[in-house]
Amino acid sequence: MDDAVRRRVYGADHDAPWPRPRRVYRELVGGPLDGLLLDITGWTEPERTAGAPLRTEIGRYVLGGRSVYGPRPGDGGTRFWDWRGDIR
């Protein structure tokens, strides 16, 4: 992934928020988590194709809210996950 070394990882420890070697990441595009990387190492193929609701306090629903991201159509789910909206 280009520039992965400089990108922050969603949900990572504050002391080590950067990508680690031999991990699999997807770049989050749009919405409140735009530009972050999501570590999907160990996820099953169905989990990778379904996408995920990710907790965030900077989305529409603030506390307890989630932003839904999923594979970009035509990308084969190999690099980008697009924002699909916020849920409670």
- CA torsion, ordered 34, 32, 30, 1, to nearest 10 deg: 20
Beta strand residue intervals within 1-88, DSSP E: 25-29, 37-39, 52-55, 66-71, 80-87
- pLDDT at res. 76: 76
Its pTM stands at: 0.86
**Residue 3: what pLDDT?**
53
pLDDT digits (tens, 9 = 90+) for 5-15: 578 999 898 88
Tally the domains of the chain.
1
pLDDT 10s digits, 22-77:
999 999 999 999 999 999 999 999 999 999 999 998 878 877 899 999 999 988 77
**Structural domain boundaries, residue 24:** 4-87
What was the pLDDT predicted at 14? 84
